[in-house]
Structure 1
Amino acid sequence: MTAFYQKLDHAWTTNNSLLMVGLDPDTQRFPAELDNRPDAIFEFCRAIVDATAPYACGFKPQIAYFASQRAESQLEGLCDYIREKYPTLPIVLDAKRGDIGSTAEHYAREAFERYCADAVTVSPYLGYDSIAPYLSWSDKGVIILCRTSNAGGSDLQFLDVDGEPLYLRVATLVAEKWNRSGQCGMVVGATFPKELAAVRQRIGNEVPLLVPGIGAQGGDIQATVTAGGNTGGTGLMISSSRAILYASQGDDWREAAARVARETRDAINAFR
């Protein structure tokens, strides 16, 4: 087990949760009390983290929501805060990077040295040499896009490759060749439970799956847990972002986020 997988496994057990809370800060949807605050993004996310940490197996900040608003320093501060206040909960930096050579090395340094994330999402489209630089950080997780939750993913991911869809070829490469050090996970969307089941069957029990698509995107919780869980009742990081973050824009926004996170965790656990 890598340090990332050990940390994730500990969080699954200790918090009795497969819920990964996504941090996608949209300032247009922030509560009024944060208006005109220069640190609004950090403060919003910090409060969400505090409210939902008891019900989560980790946090998944989406880097674009920070970078587009010149808030990378607030993301750094947020990652520092999570590590200090909730050291047992992994941080998955949702960056979906994909490049080769020295560029990939710099993306890896960004994720693992600047933000000190426990894992990062990456694209497999450029092949193994685009993944290898991330694997040099032997204690970190590398979560590879496989069958994404958006409808347009089928444009490429369903292409036939020697009698099977491309996403299953990716799953095979990850499980059988790229995951030699036990660092790899995969992204498979909750919106496609049949494909989720096919991936789990192909890869076995050990590779964790990051599963976006429940909540605002409409993925079914029961179908997700049944299709993607491993025989131990874990193996999943089921991500929910907007449904939790913006459960309320009133004065009760912190309490509402905690309530929805707890309800989502409990709904997931009902089918484990």
Structure 2
Amino acid sequence: MTTQQLTEQILKKKSFLCIGLDVDLHKIPQHLLEEEDPIFAFNKAIIDATHQLCVAYKPNTAFYEAYGLKGWKSLEKTIQYLNQNYPEIFTIADAKRGDIGNTSSMYAKAFFEDLGFDSVTVAPYMGKDSVEPFLAFKNKHTIMLALTSNEGAFDFQTKMMDGKELYKQVLETSKAWRNSENLMYVVGATKAEYFADIRNIVPNSFLLVPGVGAQGGNLQDVCKYGLSTNVGLLINSSRGIIYASKQEDFAQAAAGKAKELQQEMEVILRAKL
């Protein structure tokens, strides 16, 4: 999927919502545990109920890898279901990979070719030769960690180096990498005050923004400084949507929470664009 196609979907649906499919078997409705594949059954119901309200889904691979081969199979079935039934949806493998070049190439093949994701999250710490193998895939996107929403982000990401915060150096350096037009960046919603500076460095890049909802990020603050001319934002909400109910109405409850965010986004888009 190209960024233009993604933007078209955002404008069509009046939404830049990404729903995180982080499935914990201890949190899903108990009646689903009777299914042959509870994780996929949960995901399928959530997707069918919310696909008109969002433009992206983001499974965090740790929540699948934790269940071994069965979990990985559930992930495979989920992405296949999305690609076959809702091909207009942008898919994100939240895997946070990144290693020496030949290893990154294998990670990229796993997520882009074998599983068929549109994008994958990566860590930039090992530099360009750990990221460029992901960037080599046409119409695939690499979403690089820039400024995350967790407490430990302040351990390194905002430290000054040669008069500039590390996350700014990461952003500026990455723009010179081969096929950098395929880069997107992770910027946490709990760091809303940093968005103006980030947009000065990457004015048109898409930003994946976790932290709205359960982590306390504010959508209005993020959009005030983060919206670009092509919208340029994917706002992720996971727990706040998918665990809205533990009863048999869980999918409808999730759709209700997604609708609330979508309607807020629609108002923002009408005012800004």
Superposition TM-score, scaled by structure 1 size: 0.95
| C-alpha distance in structure 2 between counterparts of 1:178 and 1:266, whole Å | 37
Within 5 Å, give how 1:60-209 maps onto structure 2.
60-70=58-68, 71-174=71-174, 176-178=175-177, 180-204=179-203, 206-209=204-207
SS at match of 2:2: helix
Mean CA deviation greater in 208-217 or 109-118: 109-118
Contact 2:209 2:236 in 1 (8 A): yes
SS at match of 1:91: strand
Q: Aligned residue for 1:7?
A: 5
How far 1:246 sits from its partner (Å)?
Answer: 0.3
| C-alpha distance in structure 1 between counterparts of 2:213 and 2:161, whole Å | 32
| C-alpha distance in structure 2 between counterparts of 1:268 and 1:220, whole Å | 12
Contact 2:132 2:178 in 1 (8 A): no
| C-alpha distance in structure 2 between counterparts of 1:181 and 1:192, whole Å | 24
Matched AA of 2:236: S
Question: Does residue 237 of the first structure (1) align with residue 237 of the second (2)?
Answer: no
SS at match of 1:182: helix
Identity of aligned residues (%): 39
How far 1:244 sits from its partner (Å)?
Answer: 0.3
Structure 1, residues 88-120: CA drift from partner, whole Å, max 9, x if none?
111011000020121111111111122110010
Q: Aligned residue for 2:224?
A: 226
Contact 1:4 1:118 in 2 (8 A): no
Q: 2:15 aligns with which of 14, 17, 29?
A: 17
Aligned-residue CA RMSD in angstroms? 1.3
Q: 1:262 aligns with which of 240, 243, 259?
A: 259
Q: 2:47 aligns with which of 22, 46, 49?
A: 49
How far 1:268 sits from its partner (Å)?
Answer: 2.5
SS at match of 1:269: helix
Contact 2:135 2:179 in 1 (8 A): no
Contact 2:98 2:123 in 1 (8 A): yes
Aligned residues: 267
Task: Name stretches of at least 5 consecutive residues in structure 1 with no aligned partner.
Answer: none
SS at match of 1:258: helix
SS at match of 1:121: strand
How far 1:270 sits from its partner (Å)?
Answer: 2.5
Matched AA of 1:253: F
Task: Name stretches of at least 5 consecutive residues in structure 2 with no aligned partner.
Answer: none
